[in-house]
Amino acid sequence: RVRSDFPAFHDALVDRGVPVEVVGLGGLLALPEVADLVATLEVLDDPTANAALVRLLAGPRWRIGPRDLALLGSRAADLVRSEGAAQPGDVEGLLRAAVEGVDPAEVVSLAEALERPGGLGYSTAARERFARLAGELRDLRRHVGEPLLDLLHRVLATTGLDVEVGAAPYAPRTRRSDALVAFLDHAAAFADLDGDPSVRAFLTFLRAAEEFDRGLDTAAPSAGDSVKLLTVHKAKGLEWPVVVLPNLTAEVFPAGRGRSRWTSSAATLPTSLRGDAADFPVVAAWTTKGLDAFDDGMRAIDAREELRLGYVAVTRAKSVLIASSHWWGPTQKKRRGPSAYLETVRRHCETGAGTVAQWAPEPAEDTNPHLAEVEQRVWPVPLAAEPLAARREAADLVRAALARGPAAPGAEPALDPSEADRLAHWDRDLTALLEEARRAHRVELDVPLPASLSASALVRLARDPDGLARDLARPMPRPPAPAALRGTRFHAWVDAQFGQRPLLDRADLEGAADDDLVPDESMRALQAAFLAGPFAGVVPHRVEAPFQLVLGGRVVRGRIDAVYRTPDGGYDVIDWKTGRTPADPVQLAVYRTAWARIAGVAESRVGAGFYYVASGQVSRPGDLLSGAELERLLTVG
């Protein structure tokens, strides 16, 4: 339940050789190095980017100390005072700052100071690192317009974060490598959902995940033989032989804080507007007594929901349940002690259902004695000795290779067995990557049919499968088609003749008169031709009938223009055509099969035809494809 404890649990287990799987722990999967660097690329005047830049500068890669950071901040403030974020004549800048609630004189950009650090007394190493980081940011900003995943991989290559992860000790390396993969998976999913998102949109997504979802979560736990670290919410519906609840502490689980009340928070939806409004109390009177009664009712609901979560926690164990708590928290001044849930578990164990292994008595101290123990820490945090030694050893090997110079042509360096195995592994990886690149750039590409497609797409599949594949592989915008617009308007007109009349006529809507700025004589001619044709006085059984037809495991959707009843009790499906080009009979076959299944009759009882309105001709193609033949069209090949 308390996420801050999980990294320590994870590392302790991994250091002991226990396989661990982290599930749904949000903040564990945040990758601050990548997110912080991306945050500095697009918005130079955003104050939130300053915190990201400070974390980068003080992080393990750049190692800028407090003195140089303070000087950089002073330089940023000097730039604001000397140049001003918005001068009195800059009306647009002042208005934007007023709308955003930010005083333009207070917008300090550390990124600007990084580009122009000035002549302050920085250390030599800090000045060199400022220049290198500024150069990297300038280079990455040139690629901000690239697809999101390409930009993220470019950031990883620039920062060498994958190398840093590989040089970490075993436990953090395992957790951080999993976090890196999960982070890129979330970015890919966001890119698929949003099409081609911008850097700003992705950063907004990360901030929303941190604020509302406590970070980016993983999926449900796997069936692998490992220790699962997860929240109670993620454990719903699952069961394990042994379950450990490590923090059944007062004001932790149950927390007792409850949800926000709409009576005191404008950001909370009123309970009367919720779909489950009947489950909530109502404000009987807008008085102190009435509001207190409403709050008491809400607290009872919160307690009941917390109790349900506690029930989930203690019933996940198949054989053994281990529960614990503590008296003193890491930062709390007052004692905590066991929660009501742990007291319940203790009483149950004392009846013979379990064992109370240890129960510490309530301490005599009134305040946390551990708070008096002052622990000093160095900031920035020193690098761990093991990964630092590994990086320095690798750097020495590179320097030694550079000092030897290039090898003689054709000479093969002597390799020990471990190096040979490593190179063979690299060769296999390179071969797989080259094969993947060849598949990605091959001329012929297998394009899978989507699970759902329109009737017109099915017609295109029968007539021009290669063209449909090109459109699916790379959708392109279509040029304006006046004929298609005319057909849409004609269908709407016919629907108005026989269908249900709307409460407001389309011509009554604001701006509708714009349609008639240029008279459409062809539209009027089509209307006159229809009124003089064979269907003008016949009332259809259905108009604009929608359908979803399952063929070959795929859903074909569409809309039938008109369905008529025939004297023998059958049906006649008619499709209006406002053009003169002969239509594809596959379209009629789809409509006939769809209506036969809707009406529950055999396909032989359903006729079909095209009505070419301009000429008044009705075309009834023979030998229409049956439903089985349409399914073969979708499955063969």
Q: CA–CA separation, 330 vs 508, rounded Å?
A: 68
Q: Measure Cα distances from 530 to 507, 533, 538, 612, 618 in Å.
A: 21, 5, 11, 9, 12
Which one is predicted more confidently, 494 or 41? 494
How far is it between the farthest Cα atoms of the chain?
A: 100
Where is mean pLDDT largest: 242-246, 488-492, 535-539? 242-246
Run of H or E including 318: strand 317-323
Q: Given pLDDT bands bounded at 50, 70 and 90, which one contains residue 92?
A: very low
Q: Where are the alpha helices (DSSP H) in 335-474?
A: 340-348, 385-404, 417-440, 455-463, 465-473
Instruction: Find, among 45, 78, 40, the residue nearest to 62 by Cα.
Output: 40
Contact, 3 vs 27, CB < 8 A?
Answer: yes
- Between the two ends of the chain, the Cα-to-Cα distance in Å is 52
pLDDT of residue 483: 61
Structure tokens at 237: 């519906």
DSSP 30-53: --HHHHHHHHHHH-TT-HHHHHHH
Structure tokens at 3: 């996420």
CA angle in degrees (0–180, nearest 5) for 140-145-146:
80
pLDDT of residue 516: 40
Q: Measure Cα distances from 578 to 116, 425, 478, 534 in Å.
A: 67, 65, 20, 15
Q: CA–CA separation, 122 vs 579, rounded Å?
A: 77
Contact, 494 vs 576, CB < 8 A?
Answer: yes
Determine which of 311-325, 337-351, 392-406, 462-476 has the lowest per-residue pLDDT on average: 462-476
Structure tokens at 556: 């074909």
What mean pLDDT is predicted for residues 455-461? 81
Q: CA–CA separation, 566 vs 412, rounded Å?
A: 87
Does pTM surpass 0.75? Answer: no
Q: CA–CA separation, 216 vs 158, rounded Å?
A: 24
In the predicted model, what is the mean pLDDT of the chain? Answer: 77
Structure tokens at 404: 């030897």
Contact, 546 vs 594, CB < 8 A?
Answer: no
- Cα 382 vs. chain centroid, distance in angstroms? 35
pLDDT of residue 321: 93
* Structure confidence by residue, pLDDT tens digits, 18-76: 777 766 544 444 455 566 666 676 554 455 577 778 878 887 778 888 888 888 888 88
* Structure confidence by residue, pLDDT tens digits, 119-149: 888 999 999 999 998 888 888 888 887 788 8
* Structure confidence by residue, pLDDT tens digits, 568-606: 889 999 998 888 788 888 888 999 999 998 888 998 899
pLDDT of residue 170: 54
- The helix/strand count (H/E) of the chain reads as 21, 10
* Structure confidence by residue, pLDDT tens digits, 223-271: 667 788 887 877 888 888 999 998 888 888 888 777 788 888 888 888 8
φ/ψ bin of 4: left (φ > 0), alpha (ψ from -120 to 50), beta (otherwise): alpha
Q: CA–CA separation, 405 vs 569, rounded Å?
A: 92
Q: Given pLDDT bands bounded at 50, 70 and 90, which one contains residue 511?
A: very low
Residue 100 has pLDDT above 50, yes or no: no
DSSP state, 478?
P
What mean pLDDT is predicted for residues 467-474? 73
Contact, 577 vs 490, CB < 8 A?
Answer: no
pLDDT of residue 346: 92
φ/ψ bin of 71: left (φ > 0), alpha (ψ from -120 to 50), beta (otherwise): alpha
Contacts of 437 (CB under 8 A, 6+ apart): none
Q: Length of the chain in residues, anyone? A: 637
